[in-house]
Chains A and B, each alone.
Chain A
Amino acid sequence: MTALPSLAGLLAAVVPLDGRPRYVHSGWFLISVANLVVIVAMLVVFALAILLPFPRDREQG
């Protein structure tokens, strides 16, 4: 975990839900890391849903 401090930070923000929340803050923009992770995950899943081939029946080819 020490080799990947940013990943550890993300996991720490997501997993121990009773802990102190972490935020990304830049000027007027403020979002919790947990919410940011969910939004990024939705974007990734959306892209994968479009790009990944859907399994088809062998009979239909």
Chain B
Amino acid sequence: MSAPTWTGRVRARGLAAFPPERLLPDTQPAYVGSWIYVFGALTLGAFLVVLASGAVIALAGPAWWHTSSAGRFFNSIHLWGTELFFFFMVVHLWGKFFMAAWRGRRALTWATGAVSFLVSIATAFTGYLTQQNFDSQWIGAQAKDGLNAAGIGAFFNVLNYGQMLLWHVVLLPLAVALLIGGHILLVRRRGVVPPL
């Protein structure tokens, strides 16, 4: 018999799909004892560093981090956190690709990971556009031609600093966080893929 309220039904379905021992397991299969299985967690750790350093950069407005040592420090943490995020994610992607990690009803896990990668690239791109230096000007001036040729420029204007900043600090990080969250839940649901 189903619960009489929608909250009860959501709880029942959530517990059925993600019982606590599956959501937060304390053991993993023996084959997970390999360094190649570490890079997903490292990617998540780097993502949290990027989010935290980005939050600090946002505290005092869109330009202060150019003119103070504390600002430059957190800007550097943000940059190198992003470098490590992509480094770990690419190694994670290579490992899962050569493992054919979409096996065993894990296609959606693979797809959410792949889309996370693509949306992360867009997020980093808008970050480069909001540096407010000659580098960002050059990137914006080059990118506008390609995006305009594809018809994207009508609603995504890379020369509009305010629009790019808001995409960078709100819309795209939210999309990446939701995708990564869904990806991790799917890993918990289907389990870590065994080696070939």
Contacts and interface: CB of A to CB of B under 8 A. Distances in A.
A30 interface: no
Interface string B69-104: 000000000000001000100110011000000000
Nearest to A50: B36
B34 A45 contact: no
B33 A42 contact: no
A42 B91 contact: yes
B91 A49 contact: yes
Given A46-B95, A49-B39, A49-B95, A54 B87 contact: no
A51 to B, nearest CB: 9
Contacts, number: 30
B87 A46 contact: no
Given A46-B95, A49-B38, A56 B33 contact: yes
B6 interface: no
A31 interface: no
A11 interface: no
B35 A54 contact: yes
A52 interface: yes
A50 B38 CA distance: 11
Contact of A52 (B35, B90, B94, B95): B35
Contacts of B38: 49
Nearest to B91: A46
Contacts of A56: 33
Given A49-B34, A49-B39, A38 B95 contact: no
Interface of B: 33-36, 38-39, 83, 87, 90-91, 94-95
Closest 10 CB pairs of A and B: A49-B35, A49-B36, A54-B33, A46-B91, A54-B34, A46-B94, A42-B90, A50-B36, A54-B35, A52-B35
24 contacts: A38-B83, A38-B87, A42-B87, A42-B91, A42-B94, A45-B87, A45-B91, A46-B36, A46-B91, A46-B94, A48-B35, A49-B34, A49-B35, A49-B36, A49-B38, A49-B39, A49-B95, A50-B35, A50-B95, A52-B35, A54-B33, A54-B34, A54-B35, A56-B33
